[in-house]
Structure 1
Amino acid sequence: MSLLQIRELTKRIGNKVIVDRVTLDMEEGEILGLLGPNGAGKTTTIRMIVGLMSKSGGEVLINGMDAHTHFEQAMKHVGVIVENPDLYKYLSGYDNLIHFSRMTPGVTEARIREVIALVGLEVSINDKVSTYSLGMRQRLGLAIVLVHKPSLLVLDEPTNGLDPAGIRELRGHLKYLAHKEGVGIMISSHLMSEMEMMCDRVAILQKGKLAGVHQISDMADDERTQVRFEVDRPDLAVQILQAIMAGDEITADQHHIQIRIAKGHIPEISRKLMEAGINVYGVSTIKKTLEDKFMEVTGGEQH
């Protein structure tokens, strides 16, 4: 049974469909990213999953529990951060943790100390939150939602306002939680390069509909790759490749030629170019990025 099962999830406001019959599964120990242009329905989807917004149709199952008919039981397994966590700045980090931990019966002092260490706040946990950097507040928020040992974390734009060091730090914590502790993490973000480094899969939303779900590792294993050859005679190189690879698109600039081929053909092409008297100074592959896939799926559409 999947950790999270979303079936035909729909949200209508008046005559407008904000989220349109989204169906998606998520497993334990994976990081699933939600991507989409502004207005695609990412935040609305997240809010419906965690009960912050009513749904117009469909169902959400968490550990097999219907989040609508058994809300309290289902939410016992969930930790949520929507953008920046709400904290009491006049209290210390430790007092914030104590306060929020009281909302869940059975949280021990040992568990509190465990999550403090997990997010790396041992040194500053007794300082007032008003003295914390934004990155430290995000880590404290993460500790708060982890204290009751959730099996599912749902994070909406958690990297907002973080500097590169803070983003990298948060990424490290989330990957550890997913891949070492088995926590399932759903995360939305506009930073596609960051999502590519963090997520195992991405689900792309467009106009409220699920446009596709893609495994990040599959993009690196694409059979045909864009390959760039640095040469001294690009015009002649294009002529040679057009003769032996009819139908393939070949582009050139002052010092390079570029073609989409299987990696196994690189030595053969290099050899034919050199046999024709063309010096090959370098060969590089151009990996398809998550941004490329996003633009393919959405057609570059923005709102």
Structure 2
Amino acid sequence: MNKIIETNGLVKKYKKTTVVNQLNLSVEEGDIYGFLGPNGAGKTTTIRMLLGLIKPTAGEIQIFGKSLAKHRVQILSQVGSLVEYPSYYGNLTGYENLEAIHQLLRMKDKRKIDEVLTIVGLTKAKDKLVKHYSLGMKQRLGIGLALLNSPKLLILDEPTNGLDPAGIQEIRELIKDLPSSYGITVMISSHLLSEVDQMANKVGIIHEGQFIFQDHIQELRKKSTGNISMRVNDPHLARTILHKDGLNVSLNGKNELMIHEHEDSKIAYIADKLIRQQLAVYRIQEEKRSLEDIFLEITHKGGEVS
């Protein structure tokens, strides 16, 4: 796959404070890349560097295989962005807002405005004053403004921030459709893994300016594999029996057996063995860590996923 964004040793310092530290970012064509981290982790600073709004202290940024430092205008003409809250004219309609940007970009074909309205689902509201839009509609209009120049890359900074569940769902469905339907690679920053999990195929997690995870989201999901807990009438005896059989088990704080095996056949074997030893098995259940739990764990530790 073609690399759309690639950074090498990206650093941003403000006086003695290092906000972004040796960041090696990799976004491939067709990705929905979730850029995650707690507030203050360096996400927005990184995005501002990618958009040429601030200069890196050190390191290199390549977008579409070209150096941003050397080809800034050419690159950014193919990039759409929404950083923080969208800018719009409240006393103009949705259509008129898009028309204003259309003229600023010196675009000739006005059919692009209607196309964008369709993409962001605002065709029916195009003649409504934007000051009467809901927050979700304003956010969709902001994304529409970013799509007006037919970008190859769309960078969104916290696009669901402050939205209600319905608005979040609208933005999520819109973003998910962009790579497959319009060939647009998307980079989306967020501090909520649960949100990104429903959109992204690749995730980078940043903490205190450094990457602590970057890979396909399936690799992160594998980390959520939990343990099997088993409630029996005599957990200490059960543990002794299973240890003699070479099985990896322990007791938790609830005095339940924790079975560190995941194959169905192993669980069935353990249950059958305990029953044959005249022990009563009351309950067997899987205890999985959510992706959000993993995210909180690794960002609090500031280290790799365990």
- Taking structure 1 as the reference length, the TM-score comes to 0.88
- On the 8 A contact 2:95/2:127 being kept in 1, the answer is yes
- Structure 2 match to 1:296: 298
> Secondary structure at the residue paired with 2:205?
strand
Paired amino acid for 1:233: N
Task: For 2:272 and 2:183, locate their aligned partners in 1 and report how far apart those are by CA, in whole Å.
Answer: 48
Q: CA deviation at 1:281?
A: 4.1
Task: For 1:182 and 1:285, locate their aligned partners in 2 and report how far apart those are by CA, in whole Å.
Answer: 39
- On the 8 A contact 1:219/1:288 being kept in 2, the answer is no
- Structure 1 match to 2:225: 225
- Structure 1 match to 2:102: 101
Task: For 1:17 and 1:214, locate their aligned partners in 2 and report how far apart those are by CA, in whole Å.
Answer: 24
Q: CA deviation at 1:104?
A: 2.7
Task: For 1:257 and 1:126, locate their aligned partners in 2 and report how far apart those are by CA, in whole Å.
Answer: 63
Deviations 1:64-107 (A, max 9, x none): 22222221100011111112201111100000011112233445
Q: CA deviation at 1:294?
A: 4.8
1:38-77 equivalence runs, <5 A: 38-77=39-78
Q: CA deviation at 1:299?
A: 0.5
Task: For 2:271 and 2:180, locate their aligned partners in 1 and report how far apart those are by CA, in whole Å.
Answer: 41
Task: For 2:180 and 2:263, locate their aligned partners in 1 and report how far apart those are by CA, in whole Å.
Answer: 31
Task: For 1:259 and 1:14, locate their aligned partners in 2 and report how far apart those are by CA, in whole Å.
Answer: 51
Q: CA deviation at 1:290?
A: 4.5
Could you say what the CA RMSD is over the residues aligned between the two structures, in angstroms? 2.5
Q: 2:280 aligns with which of 278, 281, 286?
A: 278
> Secondary structure at the residue paired with 1:261?
coil
- On the 8 A contact 1:234/1:253 being kept in 2, the answer is no
Task: For 1:300 and 1:244, locate their aligned partners in 2 and report how far apart those are by CA, in whole Å.
Answer: 38
Task: For 2:181 and 2:78, locate their aligned partners in 1 and report how far apart those are by CA, in whole Å.
Answer: 18
Is 1:157 the counterpart of 2:134? The answer is no
> Secondary structure at the residue paired with 1:7?
strand
- Structure 2 match to 1:79: 80
Task: For 1:300 and 1:5, locate their aligned partners in 2 and report how far apart those are by CA, in whole Å.
Answer: 23
Q: CA deviation at 1:284?
A: 2.9
Deviations 1:9-35 (A, max 9, x none): 111111222211211110111111222
Q: Is the deviation greater in 106-115 or in 284-293?
A: 284-293
Q: CA deviation at 1:247?
A: 5.3
- On the 8 A contact 1:203/1:210 being kept in 2, the answer is yes
- On the 8 A contact 1:230/1:283 being kept in 2, the answer is yes
Paired amino acid for 1:83: E
- Taking structure 2 as the reference length, the TM-score comes to 0.87
Ranges in structure 1 where 5+ consecutive residues have no aligned partner: none
State the aligned residue count.
299
Is 1:113 the counterpart of 2:96? The answer is no
- Structure 2 match to 1:89: 90
- Structure 1 match to 2:216: 215
Q: CA deviation at 1:206?
A: 2.1
Is 1:18 the counterpart of 2:28? The answer is no
- On the 8 A contact 1:234/1:257 being kept in 2, the answer is no
Paired amino acid for 1:283: Q
Q: Structure 1 vs Structure 2: percent identity of aligned residues?
A: 35
Task: For 1:165 and 1:241, locate their aligned partners in 2 and report how far apart those are by CA, in whole Å.
Answer: 50
- Structure 1 match to 2:198: 197
Paired amino acid for 1:131: H
Q: Structure 1 residues 132, 247: closer, same or farther in 2, change over 3 A?
A: same
Q: Is the deviation greater in 126-135 or in 100-109?
A: 100-109
Deviations 1:259-286 (A, max 9, x none): 3323343332333333344235443351
Is 1:262 the counterpart of 2:286? The answer is no
